Structure 1
Amino acid sequence: MKKKAPIELENDIFLIDGFDLGFEGRTGTYVLMGEKITLVETGPSPSVSRILEGLHALDITPEQVEHIVLTHIHLDHAGGAGLLLRDCPNAEVFVHEKGKRHLANPSRLIKGARAVYGEAFNQLFDPIVPIPEEKLHSKTDGDILKISEKRTLTFYDTPGHANHHLGIHDSWSNGLFTGDTAGIRYHQTEDCGLTFYLPTTSPNQFDPEAMQQSIRRFREMNPACVFFGHFGESKEPGQAFDQVMEWLPVFVSEANNALEMGEGLDGIQKRLHEQLTSYLREQGVPDEHSVYEILKLDIEVCAMGLADYIEKKSRA
């Protein structure tokens, strides 16, 4: 197993790479230092060993972890929470009020993920361990969680990617943990002088209008930085928000066009791939770049969410 030391950010924040899907720099867990050690996101269960390894490298014992904060309950962000709790007996879990019951009884989460990932589910996410209800605490818009004298987290209801999504403001860094609502940060092309941002439109609660409203809300907070679930920190929040807002209507339009032309899910994927390939070529990214392996997976899931959204809208 490839080892990677936690990434030191500013303001006593560290980032542990969970090697989600086997990719370096795909999904991470943020460690917020202070009187009460706090983790933001756990990633899926296969990443838990990476988290424990990262904590050890930071001279933190699992027993010292007091808070596990989840932006939303999709398994690539929260699937490992129950398993991690076995090693962190003093930790409490904080989640959106609409997601709490699904962590206590993850049967619907498992069913939904199996529908998306099929035979790959076990390798990607197993095991999904239920979280005892007494360990679960719901957070809603405007709630706070005090970590230390310097650091207070404020929670915001930020749907668009999911109805049970929280954006989280960190007072010390003036940073935002945006989960998936403000998209994905693709840093893999930094070797070509490019970092770019795309929306993530996975099923089954994707809502572009709500996503736009949440991103506008993030922008109004005037953050100094954004901490992405996928992956890492951006100190150019405006640029990140702009790109996601620009790509979002493109994604929806291409999906609509594909379905109207009878091209189905494959057509949505093909159109998104063509749009992104054209963009990356213009930016000097070669066709054989490794970023396309990650983009292929993301496009497949995004296409499912776009098709689901359009189908629901047509029935409304």
Structure 2
Amino acid sequence: MSTLPAYAQALGHGVHAIDTGFQRPLFDAAYLIVENGRAAFVDTGTNFAVPRLLGTLEALGLRPADVDYVIPTHVHLDHAGGVGALMQRLPNATAIVHPRGARHMIDPSALVAGATAVYGAEEIARSYGEIVGVPADRVRESADGMTVELAGRPLWLIDTPGHARHHHCVWDERSRGFFTGDTFGLSYREFDTERGPWLLPTTTPVQFEPGPLRESVLRLLSFQPECMYLTHYSRIGDVQRLGASFLAQLDQLVAIGRSLRDAPDRHEALKRALLANYLEIVKAHGCRFSDAEVAELLAVDLELNAQGMGIWLDKGAA
């Protein structure tokens, strides 16, 4: 029986969560699906995660040549930054990428420039390393409703805009779960209580669109999934409760944004309002962290969510 490294966890049905090590432990997951000696990765984390991805593969007795697919849910760098470097190590793999994101996996220069504008060059180098492209003949664009077969195991891809227009989710009938990237939000394990996991929507720059996001989440829920595999972080159950909470919070975010559209120092006002909203919800969930501890755990998301909401408002959001 194989022994997984400490950063990997078997979730059943041949699905394994790999902690990529990005930002902090249990923050960013990549997934390895294994079926009859063949494998697929869903999301990769950054370049710095590649040794962990390959280490998990080796621990399961598989070779790089046994990987058929690398499927980033979307091309944000915490999900897809390592795709190019990983593909260099996987001689038989095809990258399955949303059609709006495929060109950025082939030539990541515009993607890196956009991320640099948000985070700064120093942070890009520190957190992501040098982003490399994937040869065009190894990239296959997904289509809504497209199925790829992993050793006879169907993986069904659906278009899920709202977090980003280059986002698709992957339905795994075997486990009755979706690999959701960021479409179904964030659920950090630190916020788990006796009531179960807590979840919040993410409005990261630059394509947050609440209307399409609502429709995408409703579409996911229509499958009656038993679990969701989140990039941030790992598998969650109790999907219908969390879906209802997600949609209610999405309405609250829209209301917050509209109320602060013309506020002085709008970015800081959005951050304060978002934190107040999160504090109210996590305390109702039974979280015992202090306000300062919650703020620290959600600091990255507060900053990025406020940025994304600001961009949405500047686009003339109704």
TM range (shorter): over 0.9
The secondary structure found in structure 2 opposite 1:20 is coil
Taking a change above 3 Å as real, the CA distance of residues 298 and 263 of structure 1, as seen in their structure-2 partners, is same
Query: Matches of 1:306 and 1:192 in 2, distance apart?
Result: 32
Partner of 1:312 in structure 2? 315
The 8 Å contact of residues 197 and 236 in structure 2, kept in 1 or not, is answered as no
Deviation at 1:102, TM superposition (A): 0.9
1:141 to 136, 141, 144: 144
**TM-score, normalised on structure 1?**
0.93
Amino acid paired to 1:188: E
Query: Matches of 2:223 and 2:194 in 1, distance apart?
Result: 31
The 8 Å contact of residues 41 and 71 in structure 1, kept in 2 or not, is answered as yes
Amino acid paired to 2:117: A
Deviation at 1:291, TM superposition (A): 5.1
The 8 Å contact of residues 5 and 57 in structure 1, kept in 2 or not, is answered as no
Amino acid paired to 2:247: M
The secondary structure found in structure 1 opposite 2:141 is strand
1:232-271 matches, cutoff 5 A:
232-271=234-273
Partner of 1:110 in structure 2? 112
Deviates more, 1:107-116 or 1:46-55: 46-55
The 8 Å contact of residues 198 and 282 in structure 2, kept in 1 or not, is answered as no
Query: Matches of 2:227 and 2:289 in 1, distance apart?
Result: 29
Partner of 1:286 in structure 2? 289
Mapped pair 1:125 → 2:128 = yes
Residue by residue over 1:31-59, the C-alpha shift from the partner in whole angstroms, topping out at 9 and shown as x without a partner, is 11114311111011121122122222222
Amino acid paired to 1:45: N
Which stretches in structure 2 are left out of the alignment for 5+ residues?
none
Taking a change above 3 Å as real, the CA distance of residues 184 and 46 of structure 1, as seen in their structure-2 partners, is same
Partner of 1:154 in structure 2? 156
2:13 to 1, 11, 14: 11
Q: Once superposed, what is the RMSD of the aligned Cα atoms?
A: 1.8
Query: Matches of 1:9 and 1:281 in 2, distance apart?
Result: 29
Give aligned pairs, total. 311
Partner of 2:97 in structure 1? 95
Query: Matches of 1:24 and 1:14 in 2, distance apart?
Result: 16
Query: Matches of 2:289 and 2:204 in 1, distance apart?
Result: 27
Deviation at 1:290, TM superposition (A): 5.2
Residue by residue over 1:71-100, the C-alpha shift from the partner in whole angstroms, topping out at 9 and shown as x without a partner, is 111111001000111221221100111111
4+ aligned runs moved over 3 Å, structure 1:
191-194, 288-292
Deviates more, 1:183-192 or 1:197-206: 183-192
Amino acid paired to 1:137: R
The 8 Å contact of residues 205 and 309 in structure 1, kept in 2 or not, is answered as yes
Partner of 1:59 in structure 2? 61
Partner of 2:188 in structure 1? 186
Partner of 2:305 in structure 1? 302
Deviates more, 1:91-100 or 1:30-39: 30-39
Amino acid paired to 1:239: R
Partner of 1:25 in structure 2? 26
The secondary structure found in structure 1 opposite 2:73 is coil
The secondary structure found in structure 2 opposite 1:159 is coil
The 8 Å contact of residues 9 and 16 in structure 2, kept in 1 or not, is answered as yes
Amino acid paired to 1:298: D
Deviates more, 1:220-229 or 1:255-264: 255-264
Deviation at 1:294, TM superposition (A): 3.2
**TM-score, normalised on structure 2?**
0.92
Query: Matches of 2:276 and 2:291 in 1, distance apart?
Result: 14
Partner of 1:34 in structure 2? 35
Query: Matches of 1:292 and 1:148 in 2, distance apart?
Result: 44
**Percent identity among equivalent residues?**
30
Deviation at 1:193, TM superposition (A): 5.7
Query: Matches of 2:51 and 2:142 in 1, distance apart?
Result: 27
Deviation at 1:125, TM superposition (A): 1.1
The 8 Å contact of residues 19 and 47 in structure 1, kept in 2 or not, is answered as yes
The 8 Å contact of residues 168 and 177 in structure 1, kept in 2 or not, is answered as yes
Query: Matches of 2:128 and 2:255 in 1, distance apart?
Result: 32
Query: Matches of 1:66 and 1:290 in 2, distance apart?
Result: 42
Partner of 1:86 in structure 2? 88
Query: Matches of 1:69 and 1:284 in 2, distance apart?
Result: 34
Amino acid paired to 2:168: L
